[in-house]
């Protein structure tokens, strides 16, 4: 069943277009992340789904029912806020019980009088059993009488999650729930939320600006920029098969290396300040000689792990100078500078953040991920030769568009 | 240390200077403020309490201590008891009404999307006026024949009332003027409290099912406004015990002592009849009532409003 369906959803604040024509379908039990740089509209989209913000156009359907005209309360969604938004004057118990109390008939909520109603007794028992059960799942059994002010950040986060799950909503909406936690706690809460989602088999829509959170937690990722969906796909699809340079550069850390490629008439490939006489003619499904001869700018993307260290004077290798060595224990990150810095091909090109159009700025060296065993032999200032894995390369136009589209690549089809 | 030669020398100098202060220097710095407090607060209070136990009259060179006689007089003489009773009645009217109106105004203005500043100014304007001057205006507003209030009443077909000369309406009229003057001030305090409530809480409440604004008021606004409400409550009580100008200008306690309130009794005993002993006793009783009320409020509510 489709738990959430967005059709051409758009949002304008005055003349400012925040979201344009968003289409998305989320299946029951799916974990979908909305990710993008700040200001991309992901939080606005989440608030539209929750009903806290109206749409300027398009339709929102939850559990196959159009909810455009419904209040947040009637949509049967639960939301976890970045600031947790716990009621500071209520105990943990009352915080978790609040959505249940609000579902009950209003007469049971009257102050004083309600206590005399016979229905209130059984309602209280029912609420108690649900709250206690939820609290024990979240490990909050001993904290039920505390106020949120007496809890740590992680505990508050659990209360917010418990309050969301206690009434079994059609949809869980999470607005950067982990960004207020410290790094270590964030990692453990990450896995806890994944586990929770499996256990409840709930449908989660999760907003984050952290691409690694989106990649590790979700079944599918919706990458947004400036109110447009850039790509929707499984985490590995976004990584291996990005629709454009923005996606390629947003996903993955360290960022993908983007090199300007020039093919001269003499059939040499200029790349990273090197002139290669030997190179594959087709890269990422594009005949690069043809493409360059039509006098177009070609950008080649290489992930940091798409390089290997080879002996000097290897015919297909790129030479450069080791500028920085970062040994992380499990991997070695090398920052490598080209030898001829004045050459426009010698730099790692970057999209200015938040922009699709090419306003590339040349920003220095490339970053290469190697096995840590090379750490013993490499020194700063060494001249090294790197062999790019041509089959992992991604080809982009100067507009940042992927030249081959996002069709599955040959090697993926084989696999 | 050698790597950063520029900064490490600074802190020790600071410390050295501090330790060089002579022992007497610190009390010396405190002396001006301390002296002022002593002269204008502590000593007058003590003297007032002391005079309350004497029969001193203003201008007379001699006095004698008469124990609690002034206090027995205060609590047995029907005139003084009426003054005490009037003060309490006035407060019972002014305090809840001011709180209710100012909160309602604050909620209304806070919910406006435009012209908030305009309405704030409108309701705050009376606070900026001189109450003595405004009392004179109000005397004409409430005038039995020419007053605007009575003309309006007549227009809607009601009987005109001689507000300030009628025993049953005079306190009400004085209370209303006080509310009119200060409600804007309390409103601004409430507005500050409302603005400080995180928007997220309202959104969470909406998603959690509190779809009516009454539900959101009960579960978010009112509890989150607790500290502000306590503060405003204390201020309202203090301010309404301070009502004096209107009584002095408009009624002088008349008719038949129906608008005689404690502060006015204090004034007339002390500065019209020169009976400083009894006036000081009134002042002491007033002081004790205010002190107890404020302490009680703080104790009572502090537990309930801070989370």
In this predicted model, what pLDDT tens digit does every residue of B197-237 receive, in sequence order?
999 999 999 999 888 888 899 899 999 998 888 889 888 98
For residue B213, list chain A residues with Cβ-Cβ distance below 8 A: none
Taking residue A291's Cβ as centre, other Cβ atoms within 10 Å add up to 18
What is the DSSP code string of A179-237? TTS-HHHHHHHHHHHHHHHHHHT--EEEEES-HHHHHHH-SEEEEEETTEEEEEE-HHH
> Are residues A85 and B210, on separate chains, in Cβ contact within 8 Å?
no
Q: What pLDDT is recorded for position B17?
A: 53
Q: DSSP state, A346?
A: G
For residue A90, list chain B residues with Cβ-Cβ distance below 8 A: 223
Q: What pLDDT is recorded for position A295?
A: 66
When CB atoms are compared, the residue of B198, B224, B307 closest to A83 is: B198
Please, which pLDDT band fits residue B262 given cuts at 50, 70 and 90?
Answer: confident
What does the alpha-carbon distance between residue B101 and residue B232 come to, in Å, rounded to a whole number? Answer: 12
Token pair for A100: 């249940």
Q: What pLDDT is recorded for position B256?
A: 78
> Are residues A103 and B224, on separate chains, in Cβ contact within 8 Å?
no
A94 to chain B: closest CA residue: B219
> Are residues B207 and A147, on separate chains, in Cβ contact within 8 Å?
no
Q: DSSP state, A13?
A: E
Q: Which of A102, A120, A110 is nearest to A163 (CA)?
A: A102
- Is residue B1 over pLDDT 70? no
For residue A103, list chain B residues with Cβ-Cβ distance below 8 A: 209
Q: SS3 for A113?
A: helix
Q: Does the pTM of the predicted model rise above 0.95?
A: no
Q: SS3 for A4?
A: strand
pLDDT in tens, B18-44: 556 677 788 888 899 999 999 999 999
Q: What pLDDT is recorded for position A35?
A: 93
Alpha carbon A271 to its chain's center: 30
How many angstroms separate the CA of residue B204 from the nearest CA in chain A? 6
Q: DSSP state, B175?
A: H
Please, which pLDDT band fits residue B184 given cuts at 50, 70 and 90?
Answer: very high
Taking residue A414's Cβ as centre, other Cβ atoms within 10 Å add up to 6
Q: Which of A78, A38, A70 is nearest to A54 (CA)?
A: A70
Mean pLDDT along residues B182-197: 93
Residue-level pLDDT, tens digit, chain A, 415 residues: 788 999 999 999 888 889 988 999 999 999 999 999 888 889 999 999 999 999 998 899 998 889 988 889 888 899 999 999 999 999 999 999 999 988 887 777 776 777 777 777 888 888 999 999 999 988 888 999 999 988 988 899 999 999 999 988 999 999 998 888 888 888 888 888 998 899 888 899 999 999 889 999 999 999 998 888 999 999 999 998 998 888 888 898 888 888 888 887 767 888 888 888 888 888 888 888 888 888 677 888 899 999 988 888 888 888 888 989 998 888 999 998 888 766 667 777 766 544 444 445 556 788 999 988 887 888 888 888 899 998 888 988 877 788 886 554 444 444 3
A74 to chain B: closest CA residue: B209
When CB atoms are compared, the residue of B203, B209, B224 closest to A103 is: B209
Q: SS3 for A9?
A: strand
pLDDT in tens, B277-305: 888 998 998 899 888 888 888 787 766 66
Instruction: Report the side by side order of strands in the sheet with A366-370.
Output: A307-310, A383-388, A318-327, A332-337, A366-370
How many angstroms separate the CA of residue A152 from the nearest CA in chain B? 15
Q: What pLDDT is recorded for position B11?
A: 47
Helix axes B116-124, B78-111, angle to 10 degrees: 170
Q: DSSP state, B275?
A: B
How many angstroms separate the CA of residue B203 from the nearest CA in chain A? 7
For residue A109, list chain B residues with Cβ-Cβ distance below 8 A: 215
How many angstroms separate the CA of residue B207 from the nearest CA in chain A? 5
> Are residues B307 and A149, on separate chains, in Cβ contact within 8 Å?
yes
Chain A positions touching chain B (beta carbons under 8 Å): 47, 50-52, 71-74, 77-79, 81, 83, 85-90, 98-99, 102-103, 109, 147-149, 163, 173
Check if the beta carbon of residue B49 is closer than 8 Å to that of residue B71.
no
- Is residue B253 over pLDDT 80? no
Mean pLDDT along residues B141-163: 82
Q: DSSP state, A162?
A: H
pLDDT in tens, A142-195: 999 999 988 988 899 999 999 999 988 999 999 998 888 888 888 888 888 998
How many angstroms separate the CA of residue B227 from the nearest CA in chain A? 12
When CB atoms are compared, the residue of A99, A147, A173 closest to B208 is: A99
Cβ contacts of A39 within 8 Å, gap of 6 or more? A226, A354
Cβ contacts of A70 within 8 Å, gap of 6 or more? A51
* Run of H or E including A66: strand A65-66
Cα dist. A104→A70, B120, B209 in Å? Answer: 19, 39, 10
Mean pLDDT along residues B185-206: 93
Mean pLDDT along residues B133-159: 84
> Are residues B224 and A88, on separate chains, in Cβ contact within 8 Å?
yes
- List, in sequence order, the alpha helices (H) in B128-253: 131-141, 148-155, 170-195, 199-207, 213-216, 222-224, 226-241, 245-250
What does the alpha-carbon distance between residue A309 and residue A307 come to, in Å, rounded to a whole number? Answer: 7
Largest CA distance in chain A: 93
When CB atoms are compared, the residue of B198, B210, B220 closest to A102 is: B210
Chain B positions touching chain A (beta carbons under 8 Å): 198, 200-201, 203-211, 215, 219-220, 223-224, 226, 307
When CB atoms are compared, the residue of A72, A109, A147 closest to B207 is: A72
ipTM (interface predicted TM): 0.81
What does the alpha-carbon distance between residue A22 and residue A59 come to, in Å, rounded to a whole number? Answer: 10
Q: What pLDDT is recorded for position B304?
A: 67
Average pLDDT, chain B: 84
Check if the beta carbon of residue A45 is closer than 8 Å to that of residue A174.
no
As a whole-number percent, the residues of chain A with pLDDT over 70 amount to: 92
Q: Which of A64, A32, A29, A62 is nearest to A48 (CA)?
A: A62
pLDDT in tens, B85-107: 899 999 999 999 999 999 999 99
Cβ contacts of A308 within 8 Å, gap of 6 or more? A370, A386, A387, A389
- Greatest mean pLDDT among A86-95, B48-57, B131-140, B144-153 lies in A86-95
What does the alpha-carbon distance between residue B268 and residue B262 come to, in Å, rounded to a whole number? Answer: 10
Check if the beta carbon of residue A242 is closer than 8 Å to that of residue A251.
yes
Burial of A192-226, coded b for 16+ CB within 10 Å and e otherwise, reads bbeebbeebebbbbbbbbbbebbbebbebbbbbbb
Place of tokens 């990710």: A35
Q: What pLDDT is recorded for position B2?
A: 42
């Amino acid at each position: 069943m489709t738990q959430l369906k967005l059709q051409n959803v758009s949002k304008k604040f005055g003349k400012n277009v925040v979201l344009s024509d968003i289409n998305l379908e989320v299946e029951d039990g799916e974990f979908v992340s909305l990710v993008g740089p700040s200001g991309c509209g992901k939080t606005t989209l989440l608030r539209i789904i929750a009903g806290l913000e109206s749409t300027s156009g398009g339709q929102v359907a939850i559990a196959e029912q159009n909810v455009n005209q419904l209040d947040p309360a009637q949509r049967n969604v639960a939301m976890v806020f970045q600031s947790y938004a716990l009621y500071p004057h209520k105990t943990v118990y009352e915080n978790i019980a609040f959505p249940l109390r609000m579902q009950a008939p209003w007469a049971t909520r009257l102050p004083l009088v309600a206590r005399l109603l016979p229905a209130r007794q059984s309602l209280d028992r029912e609420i108690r059993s649900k709250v206690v059960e939820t609290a024990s799942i979240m490990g909050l059994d001993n904290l039920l009488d505390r106020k949120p002010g007496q809890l740590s950040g992680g505990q508050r986060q659990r209360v917010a999650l418990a309050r969301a799950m206690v009434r079994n909503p059609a949809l869980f909406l999470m607005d950067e729930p982990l960004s207020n936690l410290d790094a270590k706690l964030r990692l453990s809460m990450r896995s806890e939320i994944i586990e929770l989602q499996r256990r409840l088999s709930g449908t989660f829509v999760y907003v984050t600006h952290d691409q690694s959170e989106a990649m590790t937690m979700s079944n599918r990722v919706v990458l947004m920029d400036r109110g447009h969906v850039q790509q929707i796909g499984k985490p590995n699809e976004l990584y291996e098969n990005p629709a454009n340079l923005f996606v390629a550069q947003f996903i993955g850390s360290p960022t993908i290396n983007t090199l300007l490629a020039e093919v001269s008439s003499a059939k040499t490939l200029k790349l990273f300040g090197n002139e290669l006489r030997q190179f594959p003619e087709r890269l990422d499904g594009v005949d690069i000689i043809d493409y360059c001869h039509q006098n177009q700018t070609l950008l080649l993307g290489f992930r940091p792990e798409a390089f290997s260290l080879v002996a000097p004077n290897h015919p297909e290798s790129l030479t450069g100078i080791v500028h920085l060595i970062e040994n992380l224990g499990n991997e070695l990150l090398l920052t490598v500078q080209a030898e001829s810095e004045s050459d426009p091909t010698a730099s790692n090109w970057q999209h200015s953040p938040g922009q699709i159009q090419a306003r590339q700025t040349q920003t220095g060296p490339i970053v290469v991920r190697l096995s840590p065993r090379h750490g013993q032999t490499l020194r700063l200032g060494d001249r090294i030769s790197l062999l790019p894995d041509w089959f992992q390369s991604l080809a982009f136009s100067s507009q940042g568009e992927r030249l081959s589209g996002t069709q599955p690549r040959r090697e993926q089809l084989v696999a | 240390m050698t790597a950063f030669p520029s900064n490490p020398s600074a802190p020790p100098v600071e410390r050295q200077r501090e330790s060089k202060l002579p022992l007497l220097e610190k009390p010396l710095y405190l002396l001006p403020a301390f002296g002022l407090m002593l002269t204008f607060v502590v000593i007058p209070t003590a003297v007032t309490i002391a005079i309350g136990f004497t029969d001193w009259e203003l201008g007379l060179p001699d006095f004698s201590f008469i124990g609690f006689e002034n206090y027995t007089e205060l609590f047995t003489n029907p005139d003084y008891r009426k003054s005490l009773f009037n003060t309490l009645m006035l407060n019972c009217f002014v305090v809840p009404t001011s709180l209710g109106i100012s909160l309602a105004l604050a909620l209304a203005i806070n919910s406006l999307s435009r012209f908030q500043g305009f309405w704030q100014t409108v309701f705050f304007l009376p606070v900026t006026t001189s109450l003595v001057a405004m009392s004179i205006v109000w005397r004409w507003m409430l005038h039995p024949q020419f007053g605007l209030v009575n003309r309006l009443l007549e227009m809607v077909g009601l009987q005109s009332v001689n507000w300030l000369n009628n025993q049953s309406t005079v306190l009400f009229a004085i209370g209303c003027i006080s509310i009119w003057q200060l409600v804007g001030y309390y409103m601004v305090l409430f507005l500050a409290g409302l603005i400080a409530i995180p928007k997220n809480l309202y959104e969470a409440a909406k998603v959690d099912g509190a779809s009516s604004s009454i539900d959101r008021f009960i579960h978010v606004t009112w509890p989150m406004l607790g500290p502000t409400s306590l503060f405003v409550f204390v201020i309202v009580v203090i301010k309404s015990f301070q009502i004096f100008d209107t009584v002095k200008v408009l009624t002088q306690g008349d008719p038949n002592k129906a608008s005689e309130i404690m502060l006015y009794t204090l004034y007339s005993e002390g500065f019209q009849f020169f009976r400083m002993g009894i006036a000081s006793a009134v002042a002491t009783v007033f002081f004790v009532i205010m002190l107890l009320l404020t302490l009680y409020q703080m104790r009572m509510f502090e537990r309930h409003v801070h989370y």
